[in-house]
Structure 1
Amino acid sequence: MRYFAKLQGQKEAVPVDIEHLGGTQYRLTLHEKTYTVDALTLDHGAVSLLVDGTSYPVEFEESGDEVGVLVRGQVTRVDVADERRLRLRAASAGFSAEGKQVISAPMPGKVVKVLVKQGDEVKEGQGLIVVEAMKMENELKSPKAGKVVELLAKEGTTVENNAKLAVVE
């Protein structure tokens, strides 16, 4: 099956072909290079990946199409989509956010910085709140131009997954 993966900070997604070979074996093709992968799910939810003879313990945290991947103490956010999902995204790309937009915590973490105040006018894509999760800081951005009508995030507080942090109208 073909997927498209876009690493945090990259502009374009790259195709990744994954073929199940049976059992825990997979063939993965990325950047025209093929890897043999043995993926074993561990009791605590992590995955042990054996890639061409090298072992990698990996942990995942899913949030919609995005996945936080922890490998050797380093977290990388990856946006993953199959061909169908890419077509659906392209079809809805012309639409913009309307009405009240709730900004929620993408995963459990700690609010490390609040970049706006209640009542501030913001632009679409402007950073609002920085949440640290899995040893990585995530800047949450405004989905639309508007006004911050609610601001529940406070620096130093811990938040649960999907906790309401702000509302832009």
Structure 2
Amino acid sequence: MRYLVTLGAQEHEIEIEELAADSFAIRFGENRFEADLRTVGPVSFSVIINNRSFDFDVARDGEETVVASRSGSTRLTVADAARRTARAAGKRREVSGRVEIKSAMPGRVVNVLVAPGDEVKAEQGIIIVEAMKMENEVKAPKAGKVVEVKVVAGQAVEKGQLMMVIE
């Protein structure tokens, strides 16, 4: 999965690939490395890179993510690169008819924000899925009515699994 991370005034592209449980390949610019990432508390993580251990806490503050370690804290924004690039280029296409919302990657449903029968607006948050140690908000691709919800909070989902239907 590709992300655009804004740190201060600079934007960086980061690509993260899950290799195995808790093991990731990370590409940052021209650098590529493998990392072991473990959750050690509700907002605390431990990462091992090249046999060096780093501990940090992660919290959301509005649109920003705050990462704190022993050396201080940093504020950054994280965005899905493909979605952001498409929006910036004006490539957002109109969606009509029945739409099936499927999981983009394996993960765990954290929260289902709507129920069958609910009316939703385009770009409204409908499901929160945790994948690769990050919570991702799945948004409605169009305005419409939720006709089916196929997942519940706490449920594991596989890539491509049907989670919701909107008409």
* CA contact 2:12–2:28 (8 Å) conserved in 1: no
Identity of aligned residues (%): 39
* CA contact 1:100–1:168 (8 Å) conserved in 2: yes
Q: Which amino acid aligns with 1:108?
A: P
Write the distance in 1 (CA, Å) between the matches of 2:158 and 2:34: 25
Identify the residue that residue 147 of structure 2 maps to in structure 1: 149
* CA contact 2:107–2:129 (8 Å) conserved in 1: yes
Q: Whose radius of gyration is greater, 1 or 2?
A: 1
Spell out the pairing of 1:69-80 with structure 2 (5 A cutoff). Answer: 72=47, 79-80=80-81
Write the distance in 2 (CA, Å) between the matches of 1:141 and 1:99: 16
Alignment of 1:57 with 2:55, yes or no, is: no
Alignment of 1:158 with 2:162, yes or no, is: no
- CA pair 50-140 structure 1, distance change in 2 beyond 3 A: closer
Write the distance in 1 (CA, Å) between the matches of 2:97 and 2:140: 13
1:142 CA drift (Å) = 0.3
Alignment gaps of 5+ in structure 2: 14-18, 37-46, 49-55, 59-76
Identify the residue that residue 96 of structure 2 maps to in structure 1: 98
Q: Which amino acid aligns with 1:57?
A: E
TM-score (norm 2): 0.53
* CA contact 1:49–1:58 (8 Å) conserved in 2: no
1:156 CA drift (Å) = 1.2
TM-score (norm 1): 0.53
Question: What is the count of residue pairs matched by the alignment?
Answer: 121
Secondary structure of residue in 2 paired with 1:106:
coil
Write the distance in 1 (CA, Å) between the matches of 2:144 and 2:110: 23
Deviations along 1:21-57, whole A, 9 cap, x unmatched? xxxxxxxxxxxxxxxxxxxxxx9796587989x9842
